[in-house]
Amino acid sequence: MTKTILITSGPTREYIDPVRFISNSSSGKMGKAIVEEALKKGFNIIVVKGPSEEMKSSKKCKIIDVISAKQMFDAVKINLKFADIFIGVAAVADYAPVSFSKIKIKKNKNILNLKLKKNPDIIGYVSEHKYNKTVVGFALESDNILGYAKKKLKEKKLDLIIANGIDTISSEKSNPYLIFSDGKKKKLKSAKKQYIAKEIINEIIKIKSYKTYKNSN
């Protein structure tokens, strides 16, 4: 039976007014590369995609375009039941403005105070409702990359986390650590994201196959 992967990709935008928003410089290139490699392996794909590189939808690949973290969270909740594997590649904004101004905020003060609230924890929700699903996360850090990634792996009860430095943002290349739930880690050499995506998908297939074997015995 063909397995289905639910993937989040790209950044989210948290609008302050009709023209301004909080976001990050994620290009969505890693997410797109993972989608392409997973399709080559025969998976069905559901992509929940923030504003980023275009992807083509097909019978095997459903694209759901969203803007905010809340929209991404809602789309993941709706589609999680269809997935056997979840890969959280998206660079989701941690915070969003408490209020949204329907008109453009005018420049009439030297200081503008912006009040923020926490966005939903998408991968935290997935981990709490994963049942037998394989759940994979990403961690992008400016320092203590392995330390923060291991902490996230443990707290979110992930099967695998891909840890990157900030130099990978919008880059054509990446050289991440792959850290597994059993504590093992694998350092990938600097390479194009298509190659990194292939390595990630191959490791996910191994994890899924082992879990299926373990559950059948």
- 32: tokens are 């797109």
- For residue 208, give Cα distances in angstroms to 51, 85, 101, 168: 30, 8, 46, 27
So where are the chain's domains?
Answer: 4-216
Strand order from edge to edge, sheet including 177-180: 61-65, 44-49, 4-9, 85-88, 134-141, 160-165, 177-180, 185-187
- Of all residues in the chain, the percent with pLDDT exceeding 70 is 96
Do the beta carbons of residue 84 and residue 5 sit within 8 Å?
yes
Residue-wise pLDDT for 112-166, tens only, equals: 889 999 999 999 999 999 888 999 999 998 899 999 999 999 999 999 999 998 8
The CATH class for the domain spanning 4-216 reads alpha beta
Give the Cα separation of 80 and 77 in Å (integer). 5
Catalytic residues: 24
Q: Is the pLDDT of residue 13 over 90?
A: yes
